[in-house]
Amino acid sequence: MNNEKLITNNEKRMKYLLLAIFALVTCHLSLVTAFAQIAVKGETVWTMAGDPITNGVVLIKDGKIEAVGSADKITIPANYRVISAKVVTPGLIDAHSVIGLNGYMNQPHDQMALETSGPIQPELRAIDAYNADEMLIKWVREFGVTTIHTGHQPSALVSGQTMIAKTWGKDVDEATLVPEAMIAVTLGDNATAGQGKSPGTRAKQMAMLRGELIKAQENVKKSDPPKDLRSVAWMSVIKREIPLLINANKAQDIESALRLAKEFNLKIVLDGVSEAQLVMADIKASGFPVIVHPTMARAGGDTESLSMEDAAKIKAAGIPVALQSGYEGYVPKTRVVLYEAAMAAQNGLSQRDALALITIDAAKILGLDNRIGSLAVGKDADIAMYDGDPFEWVTHCTGTIINGQVVSDVVR
């Protein structure tokens, strides 16, 4: 009898324990859901999927955009956290950067975007050098930048691979959207080696690239292709699985890039293109997109002919184009695409077109416009909020949301 009572009491205690655990889990889930349910109100909401909305609302649920529209058509549920801003935009996209590999300390230990032991190293993966805790990532996030296309810098003939990441995540795996996005190639003076080393001339650069691509063509045809990292990287290029990101600023280098792409039937993205105005028709005819140099980049060397109007001229020519922060060899090692777009808007671009260069147009070139780049139902809830016109110098970013979570409310 006593044993039966003991069993019954134990069963009751277990039942109460399970009920308590269930209650705690339910409470936790409700809190998570509450934090994931947000209504962002903006006096102006730039959706980049249509005209800007006056007095607009964006509803966020479980990391995705649930609804977008005017306040008189959208009812905000009672349990949603409400955040208000003067201007609301999609999270900004930096179409080419090196942050996460290069850091703000400007010391050897945080400068990982260039391996100097060889001119051609397509096997180097950006994700193996990416530091998700880098302060520069946090810094640009506070200006509304939510996605970066980053990787090895344009200072070698083939410096390595690039990646696409959100500017939020506890580690590289959580932050990464695309682990192997493109392979970075540089043509021109920046990719020439020291005296007596290869490549020493533009002709040698092209010969070395052709040699690698011919070998890759042969490897693809083999029944048992080589599996070393370098061969695998080049074969992915020949099979058009990964594009080459070709940094070319001089007109002759742009033409060389287009010629190489045609010869080997490659997918490429042109980068920099400071002399695009000299070969605009050829770029357009190629159909390849452009990630134009930062608007305020300093002219010199291969970039001596750049203009603050280049982005506007490329856009006007009907060429797919996005804007970048690029690579900078000085502290603090990065630009902010918000300001680069603001200057582009003062030099020939409309406000909408300038904003598109760092939102939806950038997303299209990176192949991620189904997830990011505009405020539309079902897309990632990546949002930037401002206390005025984002392109005015006196305006501050008042908050940044990534994947439906408020990741910054520092006023920048």
Sign of CA dihedral 326, 329, 333, 338: negative
CA angle 227, 228, 232 (to 5 degrees): 70
- Bridge-based pairing state of the strands 268-272 and 290-292: parallel
Burial, 105: exposed, middle or buried (Cβ in 10 Å; 0-12, 13-18, 19+)?
middle
- Report the alpha-carbon distance of residue 10 to residue 5 in Å, rounded: 9
Contact 347, 353 (CB under 8 A): no
Burial, 150: exposed, middle or buried (Cβ in 10 Å; 0-12, 13-18, 19+)?
buried
- Report the alpha-carbon distance of residue 21 to residue 14 in Å, rounded: 10
Residues 6+ apart with CB under 8 A from 47: 53, 56, 68, 90, 374, 375, 376
- Bridge-based pairing state of the strands 397-402 and 405-408: antiparallel
Per-residue pLDDT of 77-97, as tens digits, reads 999 999 999 999 999 999 999
Contact 146, 165 (CB under 8 A): no
CATH number of 13-90+379-412: 2.30.40.10
Q: What's the confidence (pLDDT) of residue 378?
A: 98
User: Please, which residues bridge with residue 269 across strands?
Assistant: 245
- Report the alpha-carbon distance of residue 133 to residue 100 in Å, rounded: 8
For 66, the token pair is 């649930």
- Report the alpha-carbon distance of residue 404 to residue 389 in Å, rounded: 23
Question: HSE on the CB side for 356, CA within 13 Å?
Answer: 18
Q: Where in the chain is the domain with CATH 2.30.40.10?
A: 13-90+379-412
Q: Where in the chain is the domain with CATH 3.20.20.140?
A: 92-372
Residues 6+ apart with CB under 8 A from 37: 60, 61, 62, 77, 79, 80, 81
- Is 284 strand, coil or helix? helix
- Report the alpha-carbon distance of residue 139 to residue 118 in Å, rounded: 32
User: Please, which residues bridge with residue 22 across strands?
Assistant: none
**Single-letter amino acid, residue 276:** A
**Single-letter amino acid, residue 110:** D
Percent of the chain residues topping a pLDDT of 70: 91
Burial, 332: exposed, middle or buried (Cβ in 10 Å; 0-12, 13-18, 19+)?
middle
Closest CA to 129 of 139, 141, 121, 140: 121
Q: Can you give the three-state secondary structure of 329-370, one letter per residue?
A: CCCCCCCCHHHHHHHHHCCCCCHHHHHHCCCHHHHHHCCCCC
Tell me yes or no: is domain 92-372 CATH 3.20.20.140: yes
Order across the sheet with 53-61: list the strands: 64-70, 53-61, 38-45, 81-90, 383-386, 397-402, 405-408
For 160, the token pair is 């390595």
For 129, the token pair is 């050098």
- Is 11 strand, coil or helix? helix
pLDDT digits (tens), the chain, 412 positions = 455 554 455 555 555 555 544 444 444 433 343 446 999 999 999 999 999 999 999 999 999 999 999 999 999 999 999 999 999 999 999 999 999 999 998 889 999 999 999 999 999 999 999 999 999 999 999 999 999 999 999 999 999 999 999 999 999 999 999 999 999 999 999 999 877 899 999 999 999 999 999 999 999 999 999 999 999 999 999 999 999 999 999 999 999 999 999 999 999 999 999 999 999 999 999 999 999 999 999 999 999 999 999 999 999 999 999 999 999 877 667 999 999 999 999 999 999 999 999 999 999 999 999 999 999 999 999 999 999 999 999 999 999 999 999 999 988 8
CA-to-CA dists, residue 46 to 76, 186, 373, 376, angstroms: 19, 35, 11, 11
**Single-letter amino acid, residue 115:** E
User: Please, which residues bridge with residue 223 across strands?
Assistant: none
Q: What's the confidence (pLDDT) of residue 25?
A: 42
Provide the CA 97 distance to its chain's centre, in angstroms. Answer: 8
For 213, the token pair is 């691509």
Q: What's the confidence (pLDDT) of residue 91?
A: 98
- The DSSP secondary structure of 106-145, one letter per residue, reads -SGGGB-S--TT-SB-TT--GGGT--TT-HHHHHHHTTTE
Q: What's the confidence (pLDDT) of residue 333?
A: 79
